[in-house]
Amino acid sequence: MTDKLLLRALAGETLPTPPVWMMRQAGRYLPEYRATRAKAGSFLDLCYTPELAAEVTLQPLRRYAFDAAILFADILLVPQALGADLTFVQGEGPRLSTVTSVADLARLGPVDDIDETLSPIYETVRILRRELPADVPLIGFAGAPWTVATYMIAGRGTPDQAPARRLMYSDRATFEALLDRITDATIHYLLQQVRAGAEVIKIFDSWAGALPGTEFAKYAIAPAKRIVDALRAEHPDLPIIGFPRMAGGNYARFAVETGVQGLALDTSVDPAWAADHLQPRTCVQGNLDPLLLVQGGQALTDKTKETVRAFANGPHIFNLGHGITPDASPDNVHRMLEAVRG
């Protein structure tokens, strides 16, 4: 029996009080993060400087005593490691060189070379395993192939992932070859994180809900299953959390067919429905609306307690339905934790 509550929940145990962490718990809502980010010089410099990346990973643990830490990195480091140009524009987000043709695909490097770029990330993991409290597990992560592909095809974030869907319909061979390359690189990257000390893995498919019908099975479920199977081949007991955001009724199918041990739920999922249809199959994670950490007050307390009650009869990790936003109040995080822990 481990004293790491997150691992117990992922193993299927129903706990009196759910473990708690937050997506983007290291981030701009914290003044200490903003100070470290300024010291680093740029977002990518922060990601690739292990001592600073470890520091911002630890900052929310010092403030709030969360039940898990999540590696500070970014899902777009994998395409950069494959050879895509990557920058972050202040206030606008990422910009990448695009991959929309066979010629673009040919300019990407081999998967075996990605460690030249990503080795600082593995060093961050090693530092964190040394410095984290004994009862706090470390979550490693990567973006799911479909979500990463949407950025690589469009060269930036888009509201509806239309560029990626157009390529999927117009040149399926190139689209699928890109997804295969990303999947292979993601497997390699995550295995290296686990070898360095990550104890849990999370796969973020932030734009899974943009995939229609049969394409969801092909391009959200199938790549995730490949990743899960590859990780479990080397680490049979590795807990893996999937986050097929906005998947709606496909959440249950995703859990069953991929074999993940945890299923992160977005804010659109009704907790009562999830308790009936998802929690009997897997540990569920979520799904408080991040806006409540901006709003605060009694609404935050009531909704937090309501979420805990809804999932009280099965394995549950308390979290948000998406990442905490930069305008959230640190004091409201304290209020949320008090409501969860009673």
Known catalytic residues are 24, 28, 37, 74, 151
* 222-278 pLDDT tens trace: 999 999 999 999 999 999 999 999 999 999 999 999 999 999 999 999 999 999 999
- pLDDT greater than 70 at residue 126: yes
Which residue's structure tokens are 């907790």?
271
Of 77, 4, 72, the C-alpha closest to 32 is 72
For 44, the token pair is 């990518």
- pLDDT greater than 80 at residue 2: no
DSSP 20: B
E strands, the chain, are 69-70, 86-89, 93-96, 138-143, 200-205, 240-244, 262-264, 283-288, 316-320
Residue type, 206: S
What domains are defined for the chain? 5-341 (3.20.20.210)
- Note every long-range contact of 195-198, with CB atoms under 8 Å and residues 24 or more positions apart, other chains counting: 195/122, 196/122, 196/123, 196/125, 196/126, 196/129, 197/125, 197/126, 197/128, 197/129, 197/138, 198/71, 198/125, 198/138, 198/139, 198/140
Q: What is the reported pTM?
A: 0.97
Across the chain, mean pLDDT equals: 97
- pLDDT greater than 90 at residue 91: no
* 17-43 pLDDT tens trace: 999 999 999 999 999 999 999 999 999
> What does the pLDDT read at residue 1?
60
Contact of 76 with 143, CB cutoff 8 Å: yes
> What does the pLDDT read at residue 342?
87
Radius of gyration, CA atoms only, the chain: 19
Average pLDDT over every residue of 129-158 = 97
> What does the pLDDT read at residue 151?
98
Q: How many helices (H) and strands (E) does the chain have?
A: 17, 9
- pLDDT greater than 90 at residue 294: yes
- pLDDT greater than 70 at residue 328: yes
Contact of 156 with 99, CB cutoff 8 Å: no
Q: What share of the chain is helix, strand, coil (3-state, %, to 5)?
A: 55, 10, 35
Percent of the chain clearing pLDDT 70 (strictly above): 100
Average pLDDT over every residue of 137-144 = 98
